[in-house]
C-alpha cells in the first residue's frame, strides 16, 4: 500500500517507439519525484516537481525525456525514440512530512527490445 500508483506496471516496447508512464499520488502531495533504477544499481534521480513546477532535471534526462505535472496532481514521464539503454525501472516518489523523506510508488518496468 503506497501513496502513489503507477501505470502501467510493465511495458515492453520496440526500439524507436515512444512510451509514456503515469504517476498518480493517492492524496495531494506537493513534492513529486522521478527516479530510474537499472539492475544492480540504486535509483538515480531524474526530475522533481513542486506542485506543477518542474524545479530540476538531471543530466540523465536527455532531450528524449520529458516530464509534466499539470495542475500539480498526477505526473507523466515520456520517452521518445526509446533505446535499449532506457530499459529500467522508473520510480515515482512523493515527499513525506519530514522535508527530505521520500516514499516510492511500485514503479513501471520498461523493457526496450
Partner 1 sequence: RKEVEQDPGPFNVPEGATVAFNCTYSNSASQSFFWYRQDCRKEPKLLMSVYSSGNEDGRFTAQLNRASQYISLLIRDSKLSDSATYLCVVVGDSSYKLIFGSGTRLLVRP
CB nearer to partner 1: pick between 72 and 106: 106
Cis before 84 (ω within 30) = no
* Residue of 27, 40, 63, 71 that binds partner 1 (CB under 8 A): 40
Classify residue 93 by burial, with Cβ atoms within 10 Å: 0-12, 13-18, 19+: buried
CA distance 94 to 74: 11
**Any idea what DSSP says for residue 42?**
-
CB nearer to partner 1: pick between 78 and 101: 101
42 makes contact with partner 1 (CB under 8 A): yes
* Residue of 14, 27, 85, 100 that binds partner 1 (CB under 8 A): 100
Contacts with partner 1, residue ranges (CB under 8 A)? 2, 31, 33, 35, 40-45, 48, 55-56, 91, 93, 95-96, 98-107, 109
Amino acid at each position: 500500500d503506497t501513496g502513489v500508483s503507477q501505470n502501467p506496471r510493465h511495458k515492453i516496447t520496440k526500439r524507436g517507439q515512444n512510451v509514456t508512464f503515469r504517476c498518480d499520488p493517492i492524496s495531494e502531495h506537493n513534492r513529486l519525484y522521478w527516479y530510474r533504477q537499472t539492475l544492480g544499481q540504486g535509483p538515480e534521480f531524474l526530475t522533481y516537481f513542486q506542485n506543477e513546477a518542474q524545479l530540476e532535471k538531471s543530466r540523465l534526462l536527455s532531450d528524449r525525456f520529458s516530464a509534466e505535472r499539470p495542475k500539480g496532481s498526477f505526473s507523466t514521464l515520456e520517452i521518445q525514440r526509446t533505446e535499449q539503454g532506457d530499459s529500467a525501472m522508473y520510480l515515482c516518489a512523493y515527499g513525506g512530512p519530514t522535508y527530505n523523506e521520500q516514499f516510492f510508488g511500485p514503479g513501471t518496468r520498461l523493457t526496450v527490445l
